[in-house]
Structure 1
Amino acid sequence: MLKIKNLVMLFSSTLKTYGYSVSQLVELLQEIRDHYNEVLMQRWVHVFRDIFDEDNYHPMQVPTAVEYQRVVDSFPYRDSNLEAASFPKRFPFSSMVPRVYQQIQNYIQACLQFSQDLNLADQEIDDTLRRYTNLLLTRTLSGCLSTLIRKPSLSLLQLIQISINTNYLEESNSWLEEYIAQLTGASRELSHIARLQGRAVFRDVRDDAEQQIYEALKRKMDEFMELANYDWLLNEPSGHASSYLMDLIAFLQSTFQAFTNLKEHVAQNACLTACRHIAEILMELLLSDDVKSVSMGALQQVNLDVIQCEQFAASEPVPGFEDGTLLSSFLDLRQLLDLLLSWDWSAYFHDYGQETSKYLRVSPQRAITVLEKLREADKRTVFSVLKKSERDKKKLMETVLRQLRQLLQSSA
């Protein structure tokens, strides 16, 4: 297409020397230029996809000064701590960052090739390059990144690295602005007319990547939670938290260490998401229709697991939370278990509906559901009917259930 442009330019110059109007040829050149840009963008789709496919999404590590210089020459990242560090040096971003930046520059150069020799003013060339670069950023690169972060093969740690990468790509926007200005020699005062939209593009992609991180974290947690195999008729608790839960917490602790290079709010949201997800699943297990009977021993084992979760939340796995924020994720479970294990029904009914109630978050329906499971478990105990204490407990349970149903009906 560059050859076609040159032929049209030659033909236009010839016609002008003979006094003919060349306005239609100028319009044709503009159409060819727009088409040329479309062709370039289609080519760069494959360029970006190849970069993403070849990246391992781990921070770049360089063993020598030569390799370090090669990276900073291709991507103008400067960090005094990294410069002072000994080799091997590790950059915070993966290889896609300098490669994407370099390819955006190559694209700008390719666009400039067409605009040369068109007798355009520097400012017009500058505006044209910015407009086409914005198209590359908002359509081509944005689309490729959106496709990338939805690849099911990406691990949680790789998604985290991609999110980190977008921070550095966002910073490169000003460098690309400077690069275009240097190529065109346009006035810096006028170059604000068509600002590059890279910052907005990378922010949007990062927001999307963060949502994918939260979803991937929950999927990974589900794999651990699927290993939960409670003996709901357990006579006595084991005396320690369940092994699947200990493995899950160990995974979360190591995962949150990888969040150190992310924005603080991302790490906090991920941690809060994790705590809430554990609490939701434990509550679902306890209330599940598939579980017909629950013994006091099983309930005490669940309580041990919740205690372990609360200790994890209290350890501040991610800094910056206000006191009690993470612990509040388990508050529904904690109040329900405390009520059932302490058998503190007089306080529950006396303070029901009051803001000062110790069991404010325990709904009558949830209490009924678990009590009925406890009652079913008691029926399986052959000699329980022979003990007076068990008979008294059974009568109390029936009384409590009746009162809970009355509360439920009155609030309906």
Structure 2
Amino acid sequence: MPGLIEPYDDLTGAVQQIILSSSDSDYLDQLIPLLKTAQTQTQVQPLIQALNQVSGEREGEIERICNTNHQEFITSVNQLQNVREGTVGLTGEIMALSQSIEATTEKLAEQKKALVESRGVRQNIDDATQALKDCLEVLRLANQVHDLLGKKSHYAALRALDELQNVHLREVTRYKIAEMIERSVPATQRLIAEAVKADLNTWLYRIRETSQFLGEVAFYHTEMRRTRSKERWGEEDSYLGSFKLNSAVELVADEEEEFDVLNNEEVQVDFSPLFECLHIHEALGQTDKFRTEYAATRRQQKDLLLPTTLRLDDEENAGLSSLLEGITGFAIVERATMMKTPDNFRSQSDVDELWDNMCQSAIKLISSALPTVENDEKLLKIKGVIALFIQTMDSWGYSVSALDSLLLTLFDKYSSLLKKRFSDDFQEIVSTDDYMPMPVNNPDEFTRVMSVSWYNPPEGQDDPETLTYPCILPFSQMYPLVCIDIRNFINQIYLFSDDHFSAAHNIDAALHTALDDLLVHRVARSLVDRLSSQYPGQIVQILTNLDHFEHACAELETLLVSARSSSSAAGPITLSSTSEFASAKQKAETRIFALVNSKIDDLIDTAEYDWLSPAVPATASPYMQELTRYLSNIMSSVLIGLPPKIKAQIYHESLAHISAALLALPLDAAIRQISAQAATAYGLDVAHLAGFVEGLQDGAALLGVLDELRQTAELMALAAEGQGEVFFDSSVSGLRFGRVDKIRGAELLEKVSVAAAPGGAAEEAVGRPSTSALGRLSTQVAGLGVGGGSGSGSPVVEGRRGFADDLRGRFGKFAGRDRS
């Protein structure tokens, strides 16, 4: 039992807590742990008993409370009865009051009905008034659209129409007027579109009329940039000066000079009509249609801009300038339109297509008119206009490659015209020259000549203040004149690249070729053609000029290297005219030799030797005196202007020719005998010539030319004295007669020996040549390889034939030259 009581008391406490719980949730919270612990019916039974106990206790407590307050309850019931009676009385009064209110309500209802009816009428009047006001507002807005349209406020009219359609018409959709106005909206939209297009067409017309002036302003701005660039760098900095217009360096340097070609003091281009038209068509959903129509209109305007023909022969290039200025203005407006409008309105391809079309048309017009231009200065002005056009359009981002190709065509034409003009100048200079040394009268003239020509005066003669005037220069006036033309030709060729020319290497190549051709054909060969003159002084002057031209060509090669405009070119420049002048010099020298030798031949032809003369003359022959006098005069007068080297060469060649001609005289096959007196006379003439040569400035060097002649004359003199046998003594002959040909010496010994023999022997010699002297040389001749075979006379015959052939060959080398 004690074990059962304990759990019972615990359950009773738990039941008390459940009863005292403030809510069902607390009740459940208390009950759930008890149920979890009661796992069987036996375990739940104590809980039920505890609940029944608590319930019994509560019922007993309620009964005690009721028994204690019974009288109070009775009193309360009586009070409730009294209240009920009072309530019945009040109910009657309320019923009476309700009847009174009902009567009043019926009267009020009648009044209310009348009021409602009057309010309905008034509402109808108000509704009609409001509807009228709304319709009047719609009409006012519709009229306002047309008023704005009349005032050219197209976008405001479109906005008002849109507001009318989307706002105000929705408020009056139940009225007929809304339907009428709704039907008129498309027509009004068309009116707005047509009006704004009319304004745009007016704007486009004004733009077309303004295009040329706009291009003129753009050209002027480009010219100002050129000027600023030259002033900014000029010649102070050659590196910065190499950066052309529109290069990155030039653009950065010119940033401070702000200039808007489209909006300045001279011209203002307002794009508002275009923006408004574009915006209105965008609002109307007609952007694609407007873009197509605008593109077609601009193509038509482009066609109107280009003339059918072009003249390039006017003085001011008005036609070309107008054409290029118009294209420039048109292209600038197109580029600005593309930049200021949305990307899909004017595409890059559309603008480039128009530009390419205009360029090709302009190039075709210029190319067609180009054959009419026959003046290089005029062509240079045309190039200047085109270069200005190229630089202007390049600054706006247009491709100018086609125009660069046009400049190449212009340069080819320009170089050919320039070459023709200078060719005529060179021809005139060569043909009108006096071919006399050029005199200068004062230091200014000397300085000017030195500044334009490539001439280095001898030391001590290069200071113009110390010279005696008039001063004679070695060359004729044609040389400085040609030098001036050469410098002018170079300057004018390079003028073509001053503004804009991308193919600088073409200029260098054309200059090299043209200058070479001018110098070769118009100077060198023209001077060679004049070598046919019979005046030695003129030939000498031509030779002097050729020598200076050869030196000028060498200087010119260096000048062309430093002046060439292509920075990528490298290496030396070689002019073929340099070798041409050198070749012409040789021809001039040959011609001088021919003239001098011709005169020498004429004088020698006057030699009248009596080879069998029995008398010895007291002096040299007259022809020899005249010959030396001629050589002295021509060298001191006609040939004095020649360079010393050439003068010495002429002396050498002339003396060699004289020596050969004098040697040929006694060796003539027709002369069979030479007397001792004739040999002595011949030796006097040779000695006179040698004495003259020895007295010259370079006589010691020139005297060697006469060695063979002098030794031959000495041999003849020995033979005349009967000592000719010395010639066959090898120990003596090598020293005294080393330059004398063995066969010739033997032949002369034979002739002189025959002339010195007794009378009978001489007569025998006339009929038959003696072999005594020649026989002694048989072994020597065979050793020299002159004769062939053996026998008594074979080597001699062969030797004579070889000698004669050799003599004719040597003599013909000089005597056979052209003497004309």
Query: Do they fold alike, i.e. is TM over 0.5?
Result: yes
**Residues of 1 paired with 2:412 and 2:588: CA distance?**
32
Q: Partner residue of 2:472?
A: 90
For these two proteins, the number of residue pairs brought into alignment is 397
C-alpha displacement at 1:307, in angstroms?
A: 0.9
Q: Secondary structure at the match of 1:251?
A: helix
Structure 1 vs Structure 2 CA RMSD: 4.4
Q: Partner residue of 2:605?
A: 226
Assess if the C-alpha contact under 8 Å between 1:268 and 1:318 holds in 2. Answer: no
Assess if the C-alpha contact under 8 Å between 1:41 and 1:136 holds in 2. Answer: yes
Partner amino acid, structure 2, of 1:310:
A
Partner amino acid, structure 1, of 2:636:
Q
Q: Given the alignment of the two structures, is residue 157 of structure 1 paired with residue 541 of structure 2, yes or no? A: no
Alignment partner for residue 367 of structure 1, among 732, 737, 746? 746
* 1:234-256 alpha-carbon deviations (Å, 9 max, x no partner): 22122101111111111212333
**Gaps (5+ residues) in structure 2?**
1-372, 788-820
* 1:347-387 alpha-carbon deviations (Å, 9 max, x no partner): 23343996356477253455336744874x78xxxxx9xxx
Assess if the C-alpha contact under 8 Å between 2:693 and 2:702 holds in 1. Answer: no
**Residues of 1 paired with 2:743 and 2:766: CA distance?**
14
Distance 1:364 1:208, change over 3 A: closer
- Choose 255-264 or 88-97, whichever is displaced more: 255-264
Q: Partner residue of 2:661?
A: 281
Q: Partner residue of 1:265?
A: 645
Q: Partner residue of 2:439?
A: 61
**Residues of 2 paired with 1:77 and 1:345: CA distance?**
57
Q: Given the alignment of the two structures, is residue 343 of structure 1 paired with residue 722 of structure 2, yes or no? A: yes
Distance 1:159 1:395, change over 3 A: same
- Choose 153-162 or 4-13, whichever is displaced more: 4-13
- Choose 80-89 or 168-177, whichever is displaced more: 168-177
**Residues of 2 paired with 1:67 and 1:4: CA distance?**
34
* 1:82-123 alpha-carbon deviations (Å, 9 max, x no partner): 521222212122212101111222333443455565523666
**Residues of 2 paired with 1:300 and 1:257: CA distance?**
31
**Residues of 1 paired with 2:547 and 2:599: CA distance?**
25
Alignment partner for residue 119 of structure 1, among 498, 501, 516? 501
Q: Given the alignment of the two structures, is residue 135 of structure 1 paired with residue 517 of structure 2, yes or no? A: yes
Q: Secondary structure at the match of 2:475?
A: coil
Distance 1:272 1:77, change over 3 A: closer
Q: Secondary structure at the match of 1:159?
A: helix
Q: Percent identity?
A: 22
Partner amino acid, structure 2, of 1:159:
I
Q: Partner residue of 1:47?
A: 425
Partner amino acid, structure 2, of 1:96:
M
Distance 1:200 1:364, change over 3 A: closer
Counterparts of residues 311-322 of structure 1 (less than 5 Å) = 311-315=691-695, 317-319=696-698, 322=701
Distance 1:154 1:352, change over 3 A: same
- TM superposition score normalised by structure 2: 0.41
Assess if the C-alpha contact under 8 Å between 1:268 and 1:321 holds in 2. Answer: no
C-alpha displacement at 1:218, in angstroms?
A: 1.3
Assess if the C-alpha contact under 8 Å between 1:233 and 1:295 holds in 2. Answer: yes
* 1:293-328 alpha-carbon deviations (Å, 9 max, x no partner): 54333222211111111112322x242854852342
C-alpha displacement at 1:289, in angstroms?
A: 3.2
**Residues of 2 paired with 1:395 and 1:353: CA distance?**
31
Assess if the C-alpha contact under 8 Å between 1:234 and 1:298 holds in 2. Answer: yes
Q: Which protein, 1 or 2, shows the higher relative CO under an 8 Å CA cutoff with sep ≥ 6?
A: 1
Q: Given the alignment of the two structures, is residue 403 of structure 1 paired with residue 772 of structure 2, yes or no? A: yes
Distance 1:42 1:268, change over 3 A: same
**Residues of 1 paired with 2:744 and 2:397: CA distance?**
93
Assess if the C-alpha contact under 8 Å between 2:527 and 2:542 holds in 1. Answer: no
Assess if the C-alpha contact under 8 Å between 2:408 and 2:503 holds in 1. Answer: no
**Residues of 2 paired with 1:362 and 1:352: CA distance?**
16
Distance 1:181 1:68, change over 3 A: same
Assess if the C-alpha contact under 8 Å between 1:41 and 1:140 holds in 2. Answer: no
Partner amino acid, structure 2, of 1:94:
S
Q: Partner residue of 1:247?
A: 626
Q: Partner residue of 1:203?
A: 582
**Residues of 2 paired with 1:212 and 1:43: CA distance?**
31
Distance 1:40 1:77, change over 3 A: same
Q: Secondary structure at the match of 1:94?
A: coil
Structure whose alpha-carbon radius of gyration is higher: 2
C-alpha displacement at 1:26, in angstroms?
A: 5.5
Q: Partner residue of 1:235?
A: 614
C-alpha displacement at 1:7, in angstroms?
A: 8.3
Q: Given the alignment of the two structures, is residue 303 of structure 1 paired with residue 683 of structure 2, yes or no? A: yes
**Residues of 2 paired with 1:342 and 1:329: CA distance?**
20
Q: Partner residue of 1:381?
A: none
